[in-house]
Chains A and B, each alone.
Chain A
Amino acid sequence: MADTPAIELRGVARYFGERIALRDLSVTVPAGATLAVLGRNGAGKSTLLRVLATLLRQHAGEVVLLGEPLPKRAFAVRGRLGLLAHEPLLYRDLSGRENLRYHARLHGVDPERVEELLSAVRMERRADEPVRLLSRGMVQRVAVCRAVLHDPEILLLDEARANLDPGASELVEPLVGRPAGRTRVITSHDPQAALAEADLALGLRDGRPTFSLPASEVTPAHVRELYS
């Protein structure tokens, strides 16, 4: 499977009523590579991630993840995707461990993996407190565990580093960073940081791609055009 690209988008569009959320989007991400998606708020970054996460169907164009065309074959891909976005997708009244156990059962993952991840992000001590009592940073660390619990082949990170202090960032690096070797799509408000850890870069403005280049070829002009 290494040769087929992990993510292929051709002419993808998504509308919200009359408003265009995404339009004419074509990009191919080889397996194991990292794509950085840059753009202002409302440029369509989150919509793109939700389409890739099979949570939103595309209204036009083709989306092929891990060789499976969406939305027809979405169920075959679902277990192999991890999404980490603004919403931690954790029940605030349940504890961190209960949340992760719930997700582990949903994905058919051995509960032992929950303990492993909790210690990896050093949350074992606070794992039994309700999530609503945890600080934003801790919630984000538990959310990282949730996103990688089922060892996804594609990881979708919507500003994953937000709310994480430098210390916490190092903790989650082996899980969500490049070393984990997963195909990743990351979005960030800090273009320099995103480009530093990306192989490919995609610029979005008002739902339309402005550039789609290897990360190294992205010039400050490209970036300025996005945020002007």
Chain B
Amino acid sequence: MPTYGKGLRGLSILTFVTIAVALILVFFYVPLDATQGFIQKIFYIHVPLAIVSLCGFVFGGVLAVMHLRTGDRRYDLRSYVAIHMALIFGVAALLAGSIWAKASWGHWWVWNDPTLVSYLIVLLMFATYTPLRFSIEDPERQARYASVFAIVGGAFVPLNFIAVRAAQEYVHPRVLTLTGSNLPGPMLLTFLVSLLGITLLYITLWKYEMAAKNTRIQMRALRRRLLGDDDISPLQRSAAPSL
């Protein structure tokens, strides 16, 4: 049975260092953006969060495919944690994005930035992932239906982005499209370092939550093995996989 905790210590140190370096670069090294000035600094937190979160949803979809193909419920747990983390990062990205919108265009929500708009739609959709899991009792069916949802969601993310981007008339020059990039040298370096930092943070927290969930499940099994079955309280319904 794989444990998820072993690489955690080294990984968290690496994450800490990377984010620290990124912050230093953002605030002390990179020159101010010509048009947006200081506000542009939010860009280095908003876009990496958005990218990592989107990749998290697609990662959850891939794990869901593995779960349906192999039938191994551990993939379902990994998919659940991946999507769960992606949702958390997504909320942070959306908040940072709306702050950026307020700073540069004056109001909290703006419809002309395709990343922000398509982001809201993706979050709206994945917000139903947990209620869907919660409303199915049989754990095996719950895992299977959640995986189907994750796969549909994974396919939806790129399509949604294409549709929203095509629908946008751009108000301001694209600083960085999620696909291409037209950033001068130092900005690109800073962006890549902060992207790396956020990615490492996602992986660390993913392993951390996997370790926590794994421990809880092992403990429940241990408790049942030691104290017989009638001593444990029946598992109350939860969205999390119970295996």
* Contact present between A and B (CB < 8 A): yes
B5 contacts chain A at the CB level, 8 A cutoff: no
Question: How big is the A interface, by class?
Answer: under 10
Give the distance to chain A from B139, nearest Cβ to Cβ, in Å: 5
Point out the residues of chain B lying under 8 angstroms from A18, CB to CB.
234-235, 242
Q: Which A-B residue pairs are the 10 nearest by beta carbons? A: A17-B139, A16-B138, A18-B235, A17-B138, A17-B242, A17-B235, A17-B137, A18-B242, A18-B234, A17-B140
Q: List A contacts of B140 (CB < 8 A).
A: 17
Known: A16-B138, A17-B137. 8 other contacts (CB 8 A): A17-B138, A17-B139, A17-B140, A17-B235, A17-B242, A18-B234, A18-B235, A18-B242
**Contacts from A to B (Cβ < 8 Å):** 16-18
Interface digits, B223-243 against A, CB 8 Å rule (1 contact, 0 not)? 000000000001100000010
A16 to B138, CA, bound (A): 6
Task: Report the contact-size class of chain B (Cβ under 8 Å from the partner).
Answer: under 10
Nearest A residue to B242, CB-CB = A17
In the complex, what residues of A have CB within 8 A of residue B235's CB? 17-18
In the complex, 5 of the A-B residue pairs with CB atoms within 8 angstroms, ordered by the A residue number, are: A16-B138, A17-B138, A17-B139, A18-B234, A18-B242
In the complex, what distance in Å separates the CA atom of A16 from the CA atom of B139? Answer: 8
Smallest distance from the beta carbon of A16 to chain B beta carbons, Å? 6
Report Cα–Cα, A18/B234, bound state, in Å.
Answer: 9
- Nearest-CB residue, chain B, relative to A20: B229
CA A88 to CA B242, docked complex, whole Å: 34
Q: Which residues of A contact B139 (CB under 8 A)?
A: 17
Chain A residues positioned under 8 Å from B138 (CB to CB): 16-17
B 154-205 contacts with A by CB, 8 A: none
* Chain A residue, CB-CB nearest to B142: A17
Least CB distance from A155 to B in Å reads 28
Chain B residues within 8 Å of A17, by CB:
137-140, 235, 242
> What is the minimal beta-carbon distance from B221 to any residue of chain A, in angstroms?
10
Q: How far is the CA of A214 from the CA of B234 in the complex (A)?
A: 38
Can you name the residue of chain A whose Cβ is closest to the Cβ of B237?
Answer: A17
Question: Which residue of chain B lies nearest to A17 when distances are taken between CB atoms in the complex?
Answer: B139
Question: How many whole Å from A199's CB to the nearest CB in chain B?
Answer: 34
Closest chain B residue to A19, Cβ basis: B234
B131 to chain A, nearest CB (A): 19
CB distance from B214 to the nearest CB of A (A): 17
Q: Which residue of A lies closest to B234 (CB)?
A: A18
In the complex, A1 Cα to B242 Cα: how many Å? Answer: 44
Complex-state Cα separation, A17 to B235, whole angstroms: 9
A218 to B235, CA, bound (A): 38
Tell me how far the C-beta of B41 lies from the nearest C-beta in chain A, rounded to whole angstroms.
Answer: 49
Minimum CB–CB distance from B151 to chain A (whole Å) comes to: 21
Measured CA separation A17–B142 after assembly (Å):
10
Q: For window 120-152 of chain B, which residues contact chain A by CB distance below 8 Å?
A: 137-140
For the complex, give the distance between the alpha carbons of A141 and B139 in Å: 36
Residues from chain A with Cβ under 8 Å of B242 in the complex? 17-18
Complex: A29 Cα to B139 Cα, angstroms: 32
- Taking CB atoms, residues of chain B closer than 8 Å to A16 are 138
